[in-house]
Amino acid sequence: MKKDYTVLWTALLGVLLGVLLALTVTRMSENRRLRAGYQDWNKLNLILRQVQDNYVDTVDIKKVTDAAVVAALGQLDPHSVYLPPVELESSEEDLAGNFEGVGIQFNVPNDTAIVLEVIPGGPSEKAGLLQGDRLLRVDDKVIAGVKFPQDSMVRRMRGPAGTKVTLTVSRQGEEIAFDITRGKIPVHCVDAAFMVDDTTGYLRLSKFSRNTYRECAEASLKLLEQGMTRLLLDLRDNSGGYFDQAISLANLFLEKDAGIVYLEGLHRPRNDYKANGKGILKDVSLTVLINENSASSSEILAGAIQDNDRGLVVGRRSYGKGLVQEPVYFTDGSAIRITVARFHTPSGRCIQKPYSDDYQYDIYKRYRDGEMFDSDSIRIDSSAVFRTVRGRTVYGGGGIVPDVFVPVDTTRATPYWIACNRKATQMRFASEMFDRYRGRLSQIETFPQLEAFLDGIDIPGQFQRFAAARDGISPAPGEWAQTEPYLLPQLRALVGRYSRLGENAFYKLYLPVDDVVAAALSAPGAVLP
């Protein structure tokens, strides 16, 4: 019996000690409460310090810090971002106007990269690379026939000026290795500039880089010398870039003191930008082409043209990215881009579209809701009414709504066209045509020469035989006649790109099936009713 009491007392003593220990730990925890506040971001710093001092395992401070920064900026808006060193270098290089590398443009139609263009004066041209060469290896790394990612190819070929790289290519069945010393390569933002007819010029702008104003001015002067009195300025799929280049480009078209844009934010007082009236294109009739991927600086330019009634805007509602990001750089090579203000068109419209939980799926929603096919489905804020210089009504709600809406046309996509598109048959056919007609294509310098060449090689027949033999794709009875008006200009454009006319050939030959260009050509010019 005595033994049983001993066990009981031992158990009770254990419970009492546990309670006392718990009370002691609780009091210690209460005494260790840290004074945290939100006003100076003190709480965030305290938490990270506690993790570093007390976490059970070794902490990767860099990983945790970067994750905290990304999460914090993600609570602000979709465009305030953190850029680690590699991403920062890549994003700035794309807009800088030049990069360091070998100086070629290529595509990958069938798991093997084909050189489309050797940049004049660049390292590859000096080494002897030619348009049409197939890239097999970069140094000792095989990149052909192994589904090697295209962005990885680019990274392997780029590198600091003065360093060396060996590119091994296949040329007409022969394997050739070229030792190339990398150098500075210009990045062009004008994809194409040519005359559509005797008086109408066409200029396609891919981005707003450091060289945009200079390139556009030089291209415009050449078009003016060829008789241009009207310009189609194509900003479709132009995601923007440097703000100052948008201001400079607007100056080409607007009269003195015409408003271009103003920006305003909580810590940034309103700042208006106006034209200086010295532009060389003030007397040229203007039509601006936009679509759902035209963003930022593209929208600044389109909005300025529209609000000043300087020209027509044709296409589909632009993306709606109207936030001003300022970079803050850190000594480790990273940076943040933080939103400091919003862009407004001269009439007062805010370019930025509203934020939402599914903001990143906005373009998908436009398809789902019918906006890409019917102008009546465009979502505008009818309560936000603004007036252009001549009194026309324009609405807020985000993005630039075009004066002339052009829907996406899916009616011409036959099963035969879809099947070819799925296997990139058109791209591979074009590279085969280059191999077959390399000598003749390399001598073509004018559009009439190119048209005559393309007319003489029976592209419809050759393509149908190629698609059937290589991909097992043949049109159903009567389907070629339905497909040809849409597919043939694409084929001619892809083959023509391999001539010395390059991208100018591609865009000009593709115009017959470009509905937005057709609408622009049939619309009135700079003077609006």
**Where in the sequence numbering do the catalytic residues fall?**
296, 307, 321
Two tokens at 241? 């870039």
> What is the secondary structure of 375-408 as a DSSP string?
GGG---EEEEEEE-TT--EEEESSS---SEE---
| 476 Rama sector, left if φ>0, alpha if ψ -120 to 50, beta otherwise | beta
CA distances from 307 to 254, 312, 442, 457 (A): 11, 10, 45, 48
**E runs forming strands in 66-158:** 81-83, 98-101, 104-107, 113-118, 134-138, 141-142
Say which residues have a Cβ less than 8 Å from residue 114's Cβ, sequence separation at least 6: 106, 107, 108, 132, 133, 134, 135, 431, 434
Burial of 40 (0-12, 13-18, 19+ CB in 10 A): exposed
Distance CA 356, CA 353 (A): 9
Task: Find the distance separating the first CA and the last CA of the chain, reported in whole Å.
Answer: 111
Phi/psi at 81 (5° precision):
-135, 160
* Helix (H) / strand (E) containing 493: helix 479-496
Report the SS3 class of residue 265: strand
Dihedral over alpha carbons 385, 387, 393, 399 (to 10 degrees)? -70
Phi/psi at 119 (5° precision):
-65, 125
Distance CA 22, CA 327 (A): 50
* Angle 114-115-118 from CA coordinates, rounded to 5°: 180
* Helix (H) / strand (E) containing 337: strand 335-344
